[in-house]
Amino acid sequence: MTKANSPKPEAPKPDSLEQNVGSWLVRSLILLAIVLIIGHLQGKRPEFLTFEGSGRGADAPLVKQGGDPYVRALMRTISASESNVRNPYGVMYGGTYAQSLNEHPDRCITIVNGPNIGNCTTAAGRYQFITTTWQEKARRYHPAPDGFFMWQNYSFEPQYQDEVVYRWLSDSQAWGVDIPQLLRKGQVDRVLKILSPTWTSLGYGIETNSMSDALPRIYQRVLQQELKQGKQSSF
């Protein structure tokens, strides 16, 4: 003998709080999608999705950990004139941001001022590498190339930008002088002059900018930070 079916209880109705939370989540997701689409169309990334570094230029910490504090301070100083923006690792010439750093963006953007106005440049990243320079230096200094021989690819992610520049600046054969040693002797002006044909905004090149004159002072300031950080990490 079967039991008679009992009447089904009515499903509980969602309270107003649940409805409000659900509606808020849907609206938030729609707003996020709109922001991402607009950013993609403009070639920019929303600030909360950009790369490492909370400060601008020299004030953005390096992603690379450890190493010579004098060279680290020089790298941050180069960034002050070459990429004086928040999240400098992803920036391209003109201030737009790369959508991916799996490799150098290699996007040629028209130059709008200076002696090369009207030409285009592929300068990108914290150290504003043009594509050909990145390929040349990455071939020599990149710690983790992907692929084989002529088909190698060099990730442009922040840690690799730092590592390539760090090794390049530390290579006395590349510059004909020992840059770390010159920095320890306090000859930062000489070092900036040596580097200016490569990074033309350093004060002696053809594209001096508003930051150029301040670079020796910026170097001294960030050097003290790097020396202090080096001491703390040694304990």
CATH of the domain at 204: 1.10.530.10
Strand-pairing partners, residue 153, are 146
- Residue 19 belongs to some domain of the structure: no
- Residue 112 belongs to some domain of the structure: yes
Cα 204 to Cα 195: distance, rounded to the nearest angstrom:
9
Cα 29 to Cα 47: distance, rounded to the nearest angstrom:
17
Joined together, the tokens standing for residue 156 give 């442009």
- Total of domains in the chain: 1
- Residue 40 belongs to some domain of the structure: no
In one-letter notation, the amino acid at residue 197 is P
* Tens of pLDDT, residue by residue, the chain (235 residues): 433 344 545 555 555 555 565 666 667 667 655 645 555 444 444 433 444 445 899 999 999 999 999 999 999 999 999 999 999 999 999 999 999 999 999 999 999 988 889 999 999 999 999 999 999 999 999 998 887 666 789 999 999 999 999 999 999 999 999 999 999 999 999 999 999 999 999 988 778 888 999 999 999 999 999 999 888 776 5
* Residue 222: Cβ within 10 Å count: 24
Which residue range is the domain that position 118 belongs to?
53-233
- pTM of the model as a whole: 0.76
For helices 158-170 and 69-82, the axis angle rounded to 10 degrees is 120
In this structure, the chain runs to a length of 235
- Residue 32 belongs to some domain of the structure: no
